[in-house]
């Protein structure tokens, strides 16, 4: 066990953890955050996605020891149910989910891409989403919500 | 004396549930203890007994084992709490049921608190499955009828209070007033006052007609979505109980292996390890932290026997035909099928194959259990809280009355995923350590051991006359099963129960099949839509073909199986709607027109016509003329069905492009139509249709469970494919046919039933190649294209 300081959603946390622990477990069990979720533990589905240093990463395969000093944003770091971030607002407006378990992967992957490239093409979006899974297949609405966000907030 | 932490005051509510109840200002217990309340239940006697026995009994409501039978309670502040045994699984049912109660009681949507699926609080409504929630709760029984009962009772109370006949009253926003003089009014809260009313569900109470609806029937946004998108929603995965530990399980390495020994010393030095737990072939570990538990399961030295060996994957379907013993069922048998086929102008014979597929929830299954002595509380994403209470009690060796199951939403399940089995895992581990334990399965454990959707091999023979009309239809199917949803007495229907020493439900051979008796049932759409469905002289089918035989053979499966969205209905409909297309092509008929010619049910006819029209259906026989033998070919396909023979009319048109050089299939457009009676929430219905259709597309194009000589090899998302967000999503249109004067039907499993057939039919239209096996992989498409070439050059 070693001490590490993590900055998550703008708050600093000093924790005593095994540095090989994947970041996901620290976020969901030590910090009790609900956004990032365990889906596969293999970086294949996206449910554990967080944004670190502006990039969407898979927290299930990222050892927490590599995250010292990184600025981590989880799904709950964007906004709240009452005051959602514009991309969250777009998902509410489009009713773009069913069970919602996959939303960290869907929303944060899209946001990271659009933050970096507000004019991302459909092909670039497809590429970014090529390993993001939603097994309820709410794809039609999710892609509509992402486009809505890009249109309304990206310009 | 050591103070016992709140075990007696059961760990009944999670932080969120408590917060929700606090926000509503009421709980069921408060109602019962409180000054005034109106309760609608099944029986006056039971509700009165609960009321009469006072606060002490009310306190114990959760653990006393009382069969709970109340549906609605209205407090003397006018607030409404409704109790339902049908749960939110991501399909929007929580919102729709809240709309239903708000509508029947004429109160604003946000004045209703809905309590769902908790064995201590809600009625036993079995399983939330099979598109049965609307038929159960939205017609003239159960939740809907309780709402009507309460409204009529309140109107009678108001008539007395205001001294006017009920007919002169009107009700809005929980206030009843005199139609001609709105100043004379009284609110629900005042009517309840300090008194206690206990009403029996009145089957004569009149439901509001859909033409009067103000809340129901509207696209009310789903209650959970703001919390879901903000990462605040409490899934079962997020349940945290004070002092909770983390467990993981170790499954056998191959199918049929039994445990020989466990060397606990192999993990003796691991930090945080609390206990290694073994019960028969069940092995698990409990640790302080999840990462510690994971490392312990990786390091734990277990010795297993060799497995049973598995049948070869390559010719599995052919083996099914020869497997004994079988359990045979005749769905219909007009006793003249062989003769009719013998005199038919031509007979088309074709065999269709369907693989095992998995639920593959995106989040692996999770549960939290707190077993203290003989009492247990389990937070579970099960679709069946009351049945799970019975079987979890068996697993733990305690009385069902001592077990409380609290539903918390999990990752979308689409049938029996790992939710029940992981509930047993958590229960066993918690019992072994006497503390609350959370277990989440690994991806491999979820996928390698879940209850798969059934594989099928289906032979079809369809005979036509010289005019091209179908004379006779003969259907024979084989499908393997093992286990299923755990019911009373069968926790061994899922892997953990089996490993812990319980047997799966007994397989009872039956050969030959007895003649069909009683009322016609199409038995999971085993009977095609185009047969008359006659049993004992009465016909209940949706079609016109009178010479009909439908025979099914159930055999034993090497893997656990269970309901997967549209169980058997999808497999059967793939075969029926494909062969219908083949026959239409054989007689040179347009696929839509040919279907219409053989249907008798006006609602199925209407939805099929509506979809064809919306899709700008090009009326002509398939395949299209002038197909080039290479490059990209485009075509259209159709399919329709009355789900389960009585629960949702639907049709689906597809447009596809087939790259004939690579075998890749791209679905370009989907037009889905649905008639499920009066629509509760049109946006929720569209969401179900869109998701179901695309899920059906993923299953049709990609999904198949594979295995080697001893174990399942589909264990992650690289070995079991699913269409990601990044695929080219087709244009999708939905048509909703809203009907006021019929019963509500199901919608969750309807259009998924059609996707494989409608896509396969479009591939045929585009290329002239028929694919009779799901999934339509590139290899299979290329094979079918090659055999098309061989056929045309040979003949």
| Sign (positive or negative) of CA dihedral A40, A43, A44, A46 | positive
Structural domain for B68, as ranges: 15-229
Q: Is B4 inside any structural domain?
A: no
Question: Per-residue pLDDT averaged across B440-457, rounded?
Answer: 98
pLDDT digits (tens, 9 = 90+) for A118-127: 999 999 999 9
B65 plus B144 within the same structural domain = yes
Nearest-angstrom CA–CA distance, A121 and A150:
11
Nearest-angstrom CA–CA distance, B366 and A119:
39
First to last CA, chain B: 93
Alpha-carbon distance A40 to nearest alpha carbon in chain B (angstroms) = 5
Nearest-angstrom CA–CA distance, B420 and B418:
6
pLDDT digits (tens, 9 = 90+) for B329-363: 999 999 999 999 999 999 999 999 999 999 999 99
Mutate to test the interface with B, among A73, A97, A137 (most CBs of B within 10 A): A137
Nearest-angstrom CA–CA distance, A47 and B438:
19
Q: In this prediction, what percent of chain B has a pLDDT beyond 70?
A: 91
A136 closest CB neighbour out of B289, B410, B412: B412
Domain endpoint, select from B400, B418, B449: B449
CATH of the domain at B179: 3.30.365.10
Nearest-angstrom CA–CA distance, A138 and A141:
6
CB pairs under 8 A between A and B: 190
pLDDT over 60 at B124, yes or no? yes
Residues in chain A within 8 Å Cβ distance of B729: 139-140, 143
Nearest Cα to Cα of residue A22 among A50, B651, B82: A50
Q: Is B425 inside any structural domain?
A: yes
Q: Is B312 inside any structural domain?
A: no
Nearest Cα to Cα of residue B526 among B589, B568, B468, B564: B568
Banded pLDDT at A43 (limits 50, 70, 90): very high
What pLDDT sits at residue B79?
Answer: 84
Helix axis angle, B419-433 relative to B385-396, nearest 10°? 40
What pLDDT sits at residue B15?
Answer: 59
The partner residues of B380 in beta bridges, in order of sequence, read B367, B407
Which residue reads 């179901």 in tokens?
A: B692
CA distances A11 to A7, A8, A35, A63, B622, Å, are: 5, 5, 16, 20, 63
Question: What's chain B's average pLDDT?
Answer: 92
The lowest-confidence range among A91-100, B60-69, B80-89, B359-368 is B60-69
pLDDT over 70 at B28, yes or no? no
Nearest-angstrom CA–CA distance, B110 and B762:
46
Nearest CA in chain A to B240: A32
pLDDT over 60 at B53, yes or no? no
B578 plus B468 within the same structural domain = yes
B424 plus B506 within the same structural domain = no
Helix count and strand count (H, E) for chain A? 5, 5
Domain endpoint, select from B210, B229, B248: B229
What pLDDT sits at residue B791?
Answer: 61
Pairing between β-strand B245-250 and β-strand B282-287 as defined by DSSP bridges: antiparallel
Alpha-carbon distance A69 to nearest alpha carbon in chain B (angstroms) = 22
DSSP code at position B49: H
Nearest-angstrom CA–CA distance, B361 and B414:
8
Cβ–Cβ gap A143/B732 under 8 Å: no
pLDDT over 80 at B775, yes or no? yes
pLDDT over 90 at A55, yes or no? yes
B600 plus B682 within the same structural domain = yes
Residues in chain B within 8 Å Cβ distance of A98: 90-92, 412, 687, 691
What pLDDT sits at residue A80?
Answer: 98
B95 interfaces chain A, CB cutoff of 8 Å: no
Q: Domain spans of chain A?
A: 2-77, 86-153
Q: Cβ(B599)–Cβ(B639) under 8 Å?
A: no
pLDDT digits (tens, 9 = 90+) for B615-655: 999 999 999 999 899 999 999 999 999 999 999 999 999 99
What pLDDT sits at residue B393?
Answer: 98
Nearest-angstrom CA–CA distance, A89 and A86:
5
Residues in chain A within 8 Å Cβ distance of B448: none
What pLDDT sits at residue B40?
Answer: 81
B441 plus B585 within the same structural domain = no
B222 plus B243 within the same structural domain = no
Nearest CA in chain B to A50: B231
A18 closest CB neighbour out of B232, B291, B362: B291
A103 closest CB neighbour out of B91, B228, B290: B228
Residues in chain B within 8 Å Cβ distance of A79: 230
B349 plus B363 within the same structural domain = no
Question: Per-residue pLDDT averaged across B462-478, rounded?
Answer: 98
Strand segments, DSSP code E, in B625-746 are 632-642, 649-659, 665-675, 731-736
Question: Per-residue pLDDT averaged across B484-496, rounded?
Answer: 94
B 347-366: CB under 8 A from A? 360-364
Higher-confidence residue: B213 or B24?
Answer: B213
First to last CA, chain A: 46
A101 closest CB neighbour out of B221, B271, B412: B412
Nearest Cα to Cα of residue A49 among A117, A102, A121: A102
pLDDT digits (tens, 9 = 90+) for B505-564: 999 999 999 999 999 999 999 999 999 999 999 999 999 999 999 999 999 999 999 999
Nearest-angstrom CA–CA distance, B143 and B148:
9
B89 interfaces chain A, CB cutoff of 8 Å: yes
Q: Is the ipTM of this complex over 0.95?
A: yes
Cβ–Cβ gap B289/A29 under 8 Å: yes
B348 plus B363 within the same structural domain = no
Nearest-angstrom CA–CA distance, A71 and A10:
7
Into how many domains does chain B fold?
3
A44 closest CB neighbour out of B697, B718, B726: B718
pLDDT over 80 at B42, yes or no? no
Contacts of B369 (CB under 8 A, 6+ apart): B376, B377, B378, B379, B423, B426, B427, B429, B430, B431, B436, B437, B439
Question: Per-residue pLDDT averaged across A34-43, rounded?
Answer: 98
What pLDDT sits at residue B6?
Answer: 33
Nearest-angstrom CA–CA distance, B675 and B684:
14
pLDDT over 80 at A49, yes or no? yes
Alpha-carbon distance A72 to nearest alpha carbon in chain B (angstroms) = 15
pLDDT over 70 at B7, yes or no? no
Residue B775: asked if its preceding bond is cis (omega within 30°), the reply is yes
Nearest-angstrom CA–CA distance, B582 and B347:
11
A98 closest CB neighbour out of B90, B290, B728: B90
CATH code for the part of the protein at A86-153: 1.10.150.120
Nearest CA in chain B to A36: B231
CB atoms within 10 A of CB A79: 18
Alpha-carbon distance A66 to nearest alpha carbon in chain B (angstroms) = 16
What pLDDT sits at residue B206?
Answer: 95
CB atoms within 10 A of CB A123: 10
Residues in chain B within 8 Å Cβ distance of A131: 717, 724, 726
pLDDT digits (tens, 9 = 90+) for B733-754: 999 999 999 999 999 999 999 9
B240 closest CB neighbour out of A32, A39, A129: A32
Q: Cβ(A17)–Cβ(A26) under 8 Å?
A: yes
* Sheet of B282-287, strand order: B273-279, B282-287, B245-250, B437-440, B366-372, B375-380, B403-407
Cβ–Cβ gap A125/B726 under 8 Å: yes
pLDDT over 90 at B473, yes or no? yes
Banded pLDDT at B16 (limits 50, 70, 90): low
Which residue reads 């979890």 in tokens?
A: B392
B146 plus B277 within the same structural domain = no
What pLDDT sits at residue B658?
Answer: 98
The partner residues of A8 in beta bridges, in order of sequence, read A11, A72
Banded pLDDT at B3 (limits 50, 70, 90): very low
Nearest CA in chain A to B88: A99
Cβ–Cβ gap B725/A132 under 8 Å: yes
DSSP code at position B510: B
pLDDT over 80 at B572, yes or no? yes
Residue B491 CA, distance from chain mean position? 19
Residues in chain B within 8 Å Cβ distance of A20: 291
pLDDT over 90 at B29, yes or no? no
Q: Which CATH architecture has domain A2-77?
A: Roll (3.10)
User: What residue spans of B174-304 are helical by DSSP H?
Assistant: 188-192, 225-229, 290-299
B257 plus B175 within the same structural domain = no
pLDDT digits (tens, 9 = 90+) for B278-306: 999 999 999 999 999 999 999 999 999 99
Nearest-angstrom CA–CA distance, B699 and B566:
12
Question: Per-residue pLDDT averaged across B263-274, rounded?
Answer: 96
Token representation of residue B470: 């179908």
What pLDDT sits at residue B202?
Answer: 87
Question: Per-residue pLDDT averaged across A78-84, rounded?
Answer: 98
Alpha-carbon distance A150 to nearest alpha carbon in chain B (angstroms) = 16
Nearest-angstrom CA–CA distance, B62 and B12:
8
Cβ–Cβ gap B412/A78 under 8 Å: no
Model's pTM, two decimal places? Answer: 0.94
B494 plus B437 within the same structural domain = no
pLDDT over 60 at B722, yes or no? yes
Contacts of B130 (CB under 8 A, 6+ apart): B563, B644, B647, B746, B749
Which residue reads 């006017």 in tokens?
A: B164
Domain endpoint, select from B213, B229, B245: B229
What pLDDT sits at residue B790?
Answer: 63
B666 plus B593 within the same structural domain = yes
Nearest-angstrom CA–CA distance, B532 and B57:
55
B477 class by beta-carbon count within 10 Å (0-12 exposed, 13-18 middle, 19+ buried): buried
pLDDT over 80 at B14, yes or no? no
What pLDDT sits at residue B789?
Answer: 64
Nearest-angstrom CA–CA distance, B158 and B150:
12
Nearest Cα to Cα of residue B443 among B719, B142, B765: B719
B227 closest CB neighbour out of A22, A32, A81: A81
Helix axis angle, B142-162 relative to B93-105, nearest 10°? 20
What pLDDT sits at residue A84?
Answer: 98
pLDDT over 50 at B176, yes or no? yes
Cβ–Cβ gap B443/A40 under 8 Å: yes
Banded pLDDT at A153 (limits 50, 70, 90): confident
Residues in chain B within 8 Å Cβ distance of A129: 724-726
Nearest-angstrom CA–CA distance, B693 and B672:
8
What pLDDT sits at residue B12?
Answer: 46
Q: Cβ(B592)–Cβ(B514) under 8 Å?
A: no
CA angle (A29, B20, B148) in 5-degree steps = 140
Q: In this prediction, what percent of chain B has a pLDDT beyond 90?
A: 85
């Amino acid at each position: 066990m070693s001490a590490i300081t993590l900055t998550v959603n703008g708050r600093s946390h000093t924790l005593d953890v095994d540095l090989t622990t994947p970041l996901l477990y620290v976020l969901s069990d030590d910090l009790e955050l609900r956004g990032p979720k365990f889906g596969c533990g293999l970086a294949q589905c996206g449910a554990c996605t967080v944004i670190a240093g502006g990039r969407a990463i898979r927290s299930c395969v990222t050892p927490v020891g590599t995250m010292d000093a990184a600025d981590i944003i989880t799904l709950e770091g964007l906004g709240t149910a009452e005051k959602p971030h514009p991309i969250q607002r777009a998902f509410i407006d489009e009713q773009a989910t069913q069970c919602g378990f996959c939303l960290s992967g869907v929303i944060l992957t899209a946001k990271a891409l659009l933050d970096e490239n507000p004019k991302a093409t459909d092909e670039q979006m497809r590429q970014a989403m090529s390993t993001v899974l939603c097994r309820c297949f709410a794809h039609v609405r999710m892609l509509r919500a992402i486009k809505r966000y890009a249109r309304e907030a990206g310009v | 004396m050591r103070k016992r932490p709140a075990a007696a005051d059961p760990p009944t509510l999670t932080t969120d549930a408590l917060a929700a109840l606090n926000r509503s200002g009421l709980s069921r217990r408060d109602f019962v203890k409180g000054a005034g309340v109106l309760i609608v239940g099944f029986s006056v006697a039971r509700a009165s007994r609960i009321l009469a026995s006072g606060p002490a009994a009310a306190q114990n409501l959760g653990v006393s084992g009382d069969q709970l039978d109340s549906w609605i309670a209205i407090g003397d502040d006018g607030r409404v709490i409704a109790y339902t045994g049908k749960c939110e699984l991501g399909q929007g049912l929580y919102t729709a049921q809240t709309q239903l109660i708000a509508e029947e009681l004429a109160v604003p949507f946000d004045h209703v608190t809905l309590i769902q699926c908790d064995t201590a609080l809600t009625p036993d409504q079995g399983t939330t499955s099979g598109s049965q929630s609307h038929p159960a709760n939205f017609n003239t029984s159960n939740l809907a009828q309780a709402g009507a009962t309460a409204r009529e009772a309140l109107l009678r109370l108001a008539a007395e209070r205001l001294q006017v006949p009920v007919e002169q009253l009107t009700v809005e926003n929980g206030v009843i007033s005199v139609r001609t003089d709105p100043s004379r009014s009284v609110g629900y809260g005042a009517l309840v006052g300090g008194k206690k009313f206990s009403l029996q569900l009145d089957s004569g109470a009149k439901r509001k007609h859909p033409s009067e609806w103000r809340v129901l029937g509207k696209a009310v946004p789903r209650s959970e979505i703001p919390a879901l998108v903000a990462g605040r929603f409490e899934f079962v995965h997020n349940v945290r109980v004070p002092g909770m530990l983390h467990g993981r399980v170790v499954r056998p390495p191959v199918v049929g292996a039994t445990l020989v020994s466990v060397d606990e010393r192999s993990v003796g030095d691991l930090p945080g390890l609390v206990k290694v737990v073994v019960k028969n072939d069940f092995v698990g570990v409990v640790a302080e932290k999840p990462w510690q538990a994971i490392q312990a399961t990786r390091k734990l030295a277990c010795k297993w026997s060799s497995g049973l060996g598995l049948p070869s994957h390559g010719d599995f379907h052919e083996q099914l035909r020869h497997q004994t013993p079988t359990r045979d069922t005749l769905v219909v048998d007009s006793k003249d099928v062989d003769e009719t086929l013998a005199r038919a102008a031509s007979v088309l014979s074709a065999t269709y194959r369907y693989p095992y597929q998995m639920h593959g929830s995106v989040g692996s299954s999770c549960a939290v259990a707190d077993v203290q002595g003989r009492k247990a509380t389990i937070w579970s994403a099960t679709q069946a809280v009351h049945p799970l209470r019975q079987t979890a009690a068996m697993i733990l060796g305690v009385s069902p009355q001592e077990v409380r199951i609290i539903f918390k939403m999990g990752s979308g399940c689409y049938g029996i995923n790992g939710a029940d089995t992981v509930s047993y895992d958590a229960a066993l581990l918690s019992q072994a350590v006497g503390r609350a334990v959370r277990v989440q399965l690994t991806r491999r454990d979820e996928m390698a051991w879940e209850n798969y959707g059934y594989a099928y091999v289906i032979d079809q023979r369809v005979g036509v006359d010289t005019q091209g009309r179908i004379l006779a239809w003969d259907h024979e199917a084989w499908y393997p099963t093992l286990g299923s949803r755990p019911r009373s007495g069968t926790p061994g229907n899922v892997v953990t129960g089996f490993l812990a020493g319980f047997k799966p439900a007994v397989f009872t051979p039956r050969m030959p099949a007895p003649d069909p008796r009683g009322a016609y049932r199409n038995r999971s759409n085993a009977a095609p839509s185009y047969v008359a469905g006659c049993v004992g002289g009465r016909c209940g089918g949706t079609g016109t073909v009178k010479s009909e035989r439908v025979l099914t053979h159930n055999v034993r499966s090497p893997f656990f199986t269970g309901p997967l969205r549209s169980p058997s209905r999808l497999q059967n409909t793939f075969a029926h709607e494909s062969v219908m297309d083949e026959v239409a092509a054989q007689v040179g008929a347009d696929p839509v027109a040919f279907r219409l010619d053989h249907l008798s049910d006006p609602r199925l006819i209407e939805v099929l016509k509506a979809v064809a029209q919306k899709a700008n259906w090009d009326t002509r026989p398939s395949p299209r003329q002038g197909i080039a033998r290479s490059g990209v070919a485009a075509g259209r396909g159709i399919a329709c069905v009355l789900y389960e023979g009585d629960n949702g009319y639907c049709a689906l048109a597809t447009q596809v492009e087939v790259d004939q050089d690579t075998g890749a299939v791209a679905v370009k457009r989907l037009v889905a139509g649905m008639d499920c009676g009066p629509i509760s929430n049109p946006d929720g219905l569209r969401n179900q249709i869109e998701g179901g259709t695309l899920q059906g597309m993923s299953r049709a194009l990609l999904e198949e469970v594979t295995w080697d000589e001893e174990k399942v090899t589909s264990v992650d998302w690289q070995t079991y494919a699913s269409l990601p967000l990044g695929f080219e999503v087709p244009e999708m249109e939905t048509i909703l046919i809203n009907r006021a004067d019929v019963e509500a039907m199901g919608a969750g499993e309807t259009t998924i039933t059609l996707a494989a057939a409608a896509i396969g039919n479009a591939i045929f239209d585009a290329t002239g190649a028929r694919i009779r096996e799901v999934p339509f992989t590139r290899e299979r498409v290329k094979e079918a294209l090659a055999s098309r070439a061989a056929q045309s050059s040979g003949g």
